């Protein structure tokens, strides 16, 4: 009996040790995109506040706050340098565009915390705005502070709420651990605010700002300011001029279509089947010493109706299994004439993996000339793989892996592995100048390959901000 007890105890200890080891392995294999160096919460209005508006047509100013947490392993509060926030609201509220079609003037961002309002967009009763700081790390804001105040106009009687969309909100900052690339802050509590239009009475309480650092609180005016729109709504000439926004007198008119005499991508390509470069050895017997990666890929936003300047775009490829990896530069992909489910052109590439001898459980990482690096680890992959390792089994013949439904995200024009305000500024400056090249030409900021840089490219870049960082593992 005593011997059986010892055996049972040994088995239990072994199971516990195995679980602990698996947890450590899983932790070490997390993708860089899901790693955070601290947490943060966001709030609309102040705790317990409800916005009460007497009359339809009045404006209400709604503040948005961030409160950061301590950086793990330190006594420092996380510092913020970037925020993309989406506020969703009811049908009783509206955001009135200016004469140029923007709502920038309705977003009064905190200039002590941020330097530039990069982007605003209104869609389906949701406002998305992006702010960024160019300040040095020691001047960045931490703890609780106001991000921006948004001016809503009331258009109907009733009650509702203004809430933060978690899936479309991101916050990043300066990581004091200089050896880490993790810049994202995890999102904790996202607290909205209620409102009532036509009920009268003004705000129900005096706003209170909680100071998380136990230092003397600085009064912050977060109460709504109500005013008639007929006397206060700024015109387009009153809107502050921004280096990122063209004014009404300089904003170019973007043609809605390309001239019909321009060819739609090189006409020499067959349109009935994928094109595999003829230089690829297809008769190498199984058991040879050099595996081959054949793949189909798509570039986000590159479609047949305008891709006049997508010619011989090179991609970089990294193949990896465990600690073994090999990098290959300037791999040319060729147009197949086919499209994926989003209407994006499918390209095909072929790469003889000289110096790489793994053939099972392989993952491939592909980076376009102005795109984030994306991980491809399984056949017909249509989204993020989301874990370490891979399932590609390489051969020495003509098998082609289809990655075309998980398009390479466009926007990393400075090729630093991120899509952020630096890239947006670079594209926006060129878009304002309306730069254009002839068919077959190349402009770094031309993300959709249309031979010109315009608002379509800035829109494409903003869509990529949901990812922001390359997939590394």
Question: Both tokens of residue 268?
Answer: 């020499």
Q: Between 180 and 331, where is the model more confident?
A: 331
The model's pTM: 0.45
Mean pLDDT of 24-42: 60
Report the C-alpha gap between 310 and 297 in whole angstroms.
13
Work out the pLDDT band at 473, boundaries 50, 70, 90.
Answer: low
What share of the chain in percent tops pLDDT 90?
40
Give how far the C-alpha of residue 165 lies from the chain's centroid of Cα atoms, to the nearest Å. Answer: 14
Instruction: Among 37-46, 57-66, 179-188, 308-317, name the one with the lowest average pLDDT.
Output: 179-188
Q: How confident is the prediction for the chain on average, in pLDDT?
A: 77
Candidates 269, 270, 259, 271; CA nearest to 306 is 259
Most confident of 41-55, 150-164, 421-435: 150-164
Identical topology for domains 32-232 and 249-473:
yes
- Report pLDDT for 225: 39
- Unique residue bearing structure tokens 């602990």: 20
What share of the chain in percent tops pLDDT 70?
71
Work out the pLDDT band at 279, boundaries 50, 70, 90.
Answer: very low
- Report pLDDT for 398: 67
Question: Could you tell me which residues are beta bridge partners of residue 62?
Answer: 150
Fold of the domain built from segment(s) 249-473: Immunoglobulin-like (2.60.40)
CA torsion through residues 436, 308, 398, 375, sign: positive
The verdict on domain 32-232 having CATH code 3.30.499.10 is: no
Mean pLDDT of 323-334: 91
Cα–Cα distances in angstroms (integers) from residue 276 to residues 33, 296, 399, 401, in the given order: 33, 10, 10, 12
List, for residues 215-262, the tens digit of each pLDDT value: 333 333 433 434 333 334 444 333 333 333 333 333 333 333 343 443
User: 457 and 309 in contact (C-beta within 8 Å)?
Assistant: no
Report the C-alpha gap between 177 and 79 in whole angstroms.
12
Work out the pLDDT band at 466, boundaries 50, 70, 90.
Answer: low
List, for residues 147-192, the tens digit of each pLDDT value: 999 999 999 999 999 999 999 998 988 888 766 666 788 999 999 9
- Report pLDDT for 227: 39
List, for residues 89-126, the tens digit of each pLDDT value: 999 999 988 777 789 889 999 999 999 888 888 999 99
Domain positions in the chain are: 32-232, 249-473
């Amino acid at each position: 009996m005593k011997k059986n007890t010892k055996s049972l105890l040994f088995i239990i200890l072994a199971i516990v040790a195995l679980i602990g080891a698996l947890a450590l392995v899983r932790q070490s294999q997390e993708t860089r995109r899901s790693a955070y160096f601290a947490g943060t919460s966001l709030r609309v209005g102040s705790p317990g506040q409800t916005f009460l508006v007497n009359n339809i047509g009045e404006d209400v100013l709604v503040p948005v706050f961030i409160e950061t947490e301590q950086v793990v392993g330190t006594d420092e509060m996380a510092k913020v340098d970037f925020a993309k926030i989406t506020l969703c609201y009811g049908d009783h509220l509206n955001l009135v565009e200016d004469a140029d079609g923007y709502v920038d003037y309705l977003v009064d961002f905190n200039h002590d915390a941020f330097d530039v309002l990069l982007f605003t967009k209104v869609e389906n009763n949701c406002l998305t705005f992006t702010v960024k700081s160019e300040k040095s790390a020691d001047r960045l804001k931490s703890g609780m502070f106001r991000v921006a105040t948004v001016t809503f106009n009331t258009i109907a009687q009733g009650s509702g709420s203004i809430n933060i969309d978690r899936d479309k909100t991101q916050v990043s900052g300066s990581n004091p651990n200089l050896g880490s690339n993790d810049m994202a802050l995890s999102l904790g509590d996202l607290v909205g605010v209620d409102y009532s239009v036509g009920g009268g009475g003004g705000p129900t309480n005096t706003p209170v700002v909680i100071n998380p650092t136990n230092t003397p609180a600085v009064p912050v005016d977060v109460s709504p300011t109500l005013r008639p729109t007929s006397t206060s709504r700024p015109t387009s000439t009153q809107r502050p001029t921004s280096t990122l926004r063209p004014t009404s007198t300089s904003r170019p008119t973007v043609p809605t279509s390309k001239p019909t005499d321009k060819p739609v991508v090189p006409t020499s390509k067959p349109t009935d089947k994928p094109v595999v470069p003829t230089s690829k050895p297809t008769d190498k017997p199984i058991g040879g010493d050099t595996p081959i990666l054949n793949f189909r890929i798509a570039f986000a936003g590159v479609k047949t109706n305008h891709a006049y300047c997508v010619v011989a775009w090179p991609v970089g490829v990294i193949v990896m299994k465990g600690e073994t990896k090999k990098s290959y530069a300037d791999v040319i992909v060729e147009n197949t004439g086919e499209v994926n489910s989003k209407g994006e052109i499918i390209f095909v590439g072929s790469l003889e993996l000289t110096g790489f001898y793994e053939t099972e459980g392989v993952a491939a990482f592909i980076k376009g000339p102005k795109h984030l690096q994306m991980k491809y680890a399984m056949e017909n992959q249509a989204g993020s793989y989301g874990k370490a390792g891979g399932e590609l089994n390489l051969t020495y013949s003509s098998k082609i892996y289809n990655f075309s439904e998980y398009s390479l995200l466009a926007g990393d024009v400075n090729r630093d592995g991120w899509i952020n305000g630096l890239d947006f500024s670079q594209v926006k400056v060129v878009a304002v100048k309306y730069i254009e090249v002839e068919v077959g030409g190349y402009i770094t900021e031309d993300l959709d390959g249309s031979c010109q840089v315009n608002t379509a490219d800035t829109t494409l870049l903003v869509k990529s901000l949901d990812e922001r960082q390359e997939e590394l593992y």
